[in-house]
Amino acid sequence: MKSDLRHGQTRGHLCGLLAAALFGLSPPLCKRLLGEVSPLVLSGCLYLSGGIALSLYLSGRRILRSTEQESPLRWQDAPLLLGITLFGGVLGPLLMLMGLARLSGLVGSLLLNLEAPMTMALAVLVFREHLSRTEWGAAALIVAGAGTLRLESGPGASSGLGILCIAAACLCWAIDNNLTQRLSLRDPVRVARWKTLGAGSTSLILGLLLDGSMPRRELGAALFVMGALSYGLSLVLDNYALRLIGAAREAALFSTAPFLGGVASLLVLREHPTGWHALGAGLMLTGVIVSLRARHSHRHRHERLEHEHAHVHDEHHQHVHGPSDPPLDPFGAPHSHPHSHTAIEHEHPHASDLHHRHKH
């Protein structure tokens, strides 16, 4: 069981890094389009593309899979979904694109590192997550790496309003990350699908009302691919990371996205790398490695709990299936149904997922 939990944390770290890589490519690519597409319309097109791609995936999954392995969304999840869509899908991207229009691609990408400390502060202070000193150190290295890179940009590349817009976008995403973590036991694909469709529709309608122009038809394929990968798939992977390692650790890993965006800016926007970039890359890589190797283990107690999510029958899930519950898969595949956890006290490596919100 301990190896299974450790494996789950490793998968959470990998999901977080891949989500960061996919999203990190989007800011410099978006900046190239901002000259001919308004921020609201561009945001709406990207989110709708992600939502359409996820809807197609879900349709295929329903055909190929006889039983659902994930917990479906419920009506009581609507307030959280609304908050996630508003802060993470509408306000955050709009503010980011407004900031990018006033900053260089490199500066705009790297300023997005403010999302990490904001997310971590909310996760620890408000939502009862825990980070060890080692993990705080890893997060500091990643954020410091981006800060070092920002030193290269120079005052001429900065705009006060642009910086303020990026900072406000990061605060919106910090709220979004912590609200999404409350929904991490639900199907990550469905959560991402509703967020992208809701945010995309809202942004596109507002953008067309205010601006009135759609992107050129030749950009359609590029926008769809970018939206499907950087907004659709990236969100799904990020939701899995939030489930497996918590919002604070996810934020530390997602801090690599601005660095990857900076690298993309060097390639796409033809900016030239310097020694500062190498130093920043080294700090961020060190932080990621330290975060991946961090181990948090102590004796802790689980109180009695009843909820619903995808699970297998491990030490945390020792319940009997009733006639209305799905049958157990002979190969041990996950399944989902309402179930109870008995109180248990034990010791194993763990992260601040929704099963581990105990006091330290």
Per domain, the residue ranges of the chain are 2-63+80-298
Say what the pLDDT of residue 51 is: 95
Instruction: Please give the structure tokens belonging to residue 31.
Output: 């900046």
Instruction: Please give the structure tokens belonging to residue 212.
Output: 């009135």
The 10s digit of each residue's pLDDT in 141-150 is 877 776 675 5
DSSP string covering 21-61: HHHHTHHHHHHHHTTTS-HHHHHHHHHHHHHHHHHHHHHHH
Distance CA 263, CA 265 (A): 5
**Low-confidence residues in the chain, pLDDT < 70:** 1-8, 66-70, 105-107, 109-110, 130, 146-147, 149-159, 212, 258-259, 262, 264-266, 268-274, 277, 288, 291-360
Query: Any residues with CB less than 8 A from the CB of 76 and at least 6 apart, and which?
Result: none
DSSP string covering 119-138: HHHHHHHTS-----HHHHHH
Say what the pLDDT of residue 306 is: 65
DSSP H helices, the chain, are 2-24, 26-33, 39-64, 78-84, 92-100, 105-111, 115-125, 133-151, 160-182, 188-210, 220-226, 234-254, 256-268, 275-293
Model confidence, pTM: 0.71
What sign has the CA pseudo-torsion 205, 206, 211, 216? negative
Cβ(185)–Cβ(130) below 8 Å: no
Q: How far is CA 208 from the centre of its chain?
A: 28
Instruction: Please give the structure tokens belonging to residue 327.
Output: 């049958």
CA-to-CA separations, 191 to 144, 169, 236, in angstroms, rounded: 32, 20, 8
Say what the pLDDT of residue 166 is: 86
Beta bridge mates, 299:
347
Q: How far is CA 82 from the centre of its chain?
A: 17
